[in-house]
Amino acid sequence: MNRRAILLCAILLASPLTTSAQNVDAKVHTLKNGLKVLMVPRRGDPNISAGWIAKVGSVNERPGITGIAHLFEHMMFKGTRTIGTSDIEKDLRTLAKLDSIKGEMQKEEEELVRRLRAGEIDDVRDPAARSARHQELRKEFEELLKAQKTNIVKDEFDKIYKINGASGMNAGTSYDFTIYFVNVPANKLELWFWMESDRLYNPVFREFYSERDVVREERRLRVESTPTGKFEEQFDALFWGSSPYSWPVIGWPSDVEGITREEALSFYGVYYAPNNLTACLVGDFEPQEAAKLADKYFGRLKRGPRPPPAVRTIEIRQLAEKKMVGYAETKPKVRIRYHSVADGHVDEPALVVLQGLLNGRTGRFYKSLVLDRKIATSAGGGQEGRKYEGYFEVSATVADGHTPKEAQAALEKILEDLKKNDVGVRELQKVKNQRAASEFRKLRSNFSLLLQLLVRDSYRGWETINTDPPKLQAVTAADIRRVAGKYFTRENRTILVFHTKEKEAPAGGAAPEEADPDLAGLNASDQQKAKLLKKNLPAMGLEDMEKLREQISTGLLQAPEEKKTFLEALLKMIDKHIEGRESAK
């Protein structure tokens, strides 16, 4: 073993050194209106990772307006009173007319819903079911939308950033937050402050109604047209008994189609007030100068008249096992989901370490189900601690010649063993070391650190990036056994089983390829994309690989459930290559 490797092992095996190495010193500037700015100066990089987060996600919605938080993510790129329009006054007049007509249309749409419930029609979207008045209103509405487009400067917000050297502008909506970010040249920091404050200070929700249709189409592509999307959605609704996590981030179809601009404005006024926002900068800049710019630009925003309401509903205790069986064009799979704990709960560190014991090529699931017994092509599990509730889910993709019942029994056997027997000292420490190394790697890039600080601040505070690692290192074998016994019970779980939907076999055809374990559980389209990445990884530099990893990690923030498996598979492939390169040095 070379000297560098010996030093690395020493660092990872010493918990105090590991946690101190991860210490992040963020300077905090809080404006009078309540907006917080986190600043982490890092000299030498000509770019600054900049972003802000609104502490609002789908969990803050209500039935009738589900999907509105995600819709706002789209609307925030549509410009302001100065950006995105050639004539703001004309723009505002058109918006007022559209709102007026939409109000009349809503009455007609409510009548269609009444007729559907009475059994008079089968589909509220059927043109034949609409009244003559409804058809007339729709025609007038469409003509106004066309007229509105002639006054719009398309994608001007994005273009301003690009011509000034910025890159990577994007956003994401989760159950608990909505995040916006971009990389800007260090000498364009004031532009970022002006741009971001302007879209908060002078928002114009132009293209609101046409953008609803864009979101509706996004939902169709991401959920309704995928083999398992609708099943995943219904599984979530089945699992949660009372929590607002039961509806999808993208919203229910009828809500997405029915949200009005008036409802959107009301929602925006509460959740996009500065006292519900945190901004962050990571890169080469002077904190004192950045604080002055924050006061100058973000200081214009008016504090909300009242704080955003707390999420009141607490998930009810599940009393009996629930199960869902689906037939889809996918490999047979089994998923077992247990109610667990929210982010920050005292039991969460033990559940996170337990996750490490189960996962990876050296984890208990892979070694038992994939390598030894060969009843699954992939298996894994993990703790999902959201802001208000949480769950622990385990799953397996079934190998040919075996059944979901066998895979389920194998998963349960491993969980039962964790309830009865202590984890060995070496196995436990290995998982802690791997976790510490992973957390340390995530601090390398400015962009990755930006995302972590913003998301953590929207939960329990940015400081948890420093205070959480020691809690993981303090987890004992007794803690693992205790949480396994507490949460992995029959009455606390919901099971989803997928059987392969029969379809006609193609005529003739070559012999099937040998299964690649890295691609297990992916559909044909995603397998092709993953194969392409796997083929090109050896030729990529470490820096490019790290950047790609950041992009995929960001994509996970807004990915629907059925795409998370694909993105997580890509991350595993990238991590494997990074670890291989580093161990070879």
Under the banding of pLDDT at 50, 70 and 90, the label for residue 528 is low
CATH number of 1-23+321-500: 3.30.830.10
Residue 396 φ/ψ region, left for φ over 0, alpha for ψ in the -120 to 50 degree band, beta for the rest: beta
Predicted pLDDT of residue 19: 37
| pLDDT tens for each residue of 7-27 | 223 323 333 333 344 689 999
What DSSP state is assigned to residue 80?
B
Task: Give percent of the chain with pLDDT exceeding 90.
Answer: 66
Pick the CATH number of 31-85+152-298 from 3.90.1150.10, 3.30.830.10, 3.40.640.10, 1.10.3720.10: 3.30.830.10
Predicted pLDDT of residue 117: 94
| pLDDT tens for each residue of 226-240 | 889 999 999 999 999
Cβ–Cβ under 8 Å, residues 342 and 487: no
Measure the CA–CA gap between 250 and 204, rounded to whole angstroms: 22
Structure tokens at 298: 């973000």
Least confident of 175-184, 207-216, 366-375, 576-585: 576-585
Under the banding of pLDDT at 50, 70 and 90, the label for residue 342 is very high
Predicted pLDDT of residue 18: 34
Would you list the domain boundaries of the chain? Answer: 1-23+321-500, 31-85+152-298, 86-151, 518-585
Number of H helices, E strands in the chain: 22, 11
For 410, the enclosing helix (H) or strand (E) is: helix 404-420
pTM for the structure as a whole = 0.82
| pLDDT tens for each residue of 38-52 | 999 999 888 999 999
The alpha-carbon radius of gyration of the chain (Å, integer) is: 25
| pLDDT tens for each residue of 393-410 | 999 999 999 999 999 999
Of 558, 585, 555, residue with least CA distance to 571: 555
Measure the CA–CA gap between 40 and 454, rounded to whole angstroms: 12
Query: Does residue 159 register a pLDDT over 50?
Result: yes
| pLDDT tens for each residue of 160-202 | 999 999 999 999 999 999 999 999 999 999 999 999 999 999 8
Under the banding of pLDDT at 50, 70 and 90, the label for residue 524 is low
Which residues, in sequence order, are CB contacts of 245 under 8 Å at separation 6+? 58, 59, 175, 236, 315, 386, 388, 389
- Is residue 148 helix, strand or coil? helix
| pLDDT tens for each residue of 408-420 | 999 999 999 999 9
Query: Does residue 550 register a pLDDT over 70?
Result: no
Least confident of 165-169, 478-482, 551-555: 551-555
Least confident of 14-23, 182-191, 215-224, 470-479: 14-23
Predicted pLDDT of residue 141: 92
Confirm whether 1-23+321-500 and 31-85+152-298 share one CATH topology.
yes
Under the banding of pLDDT at 50, 70 and 90, the label for residue 582 is low
Cβ–Cβ under 8 Å, residues 423 and 364: no
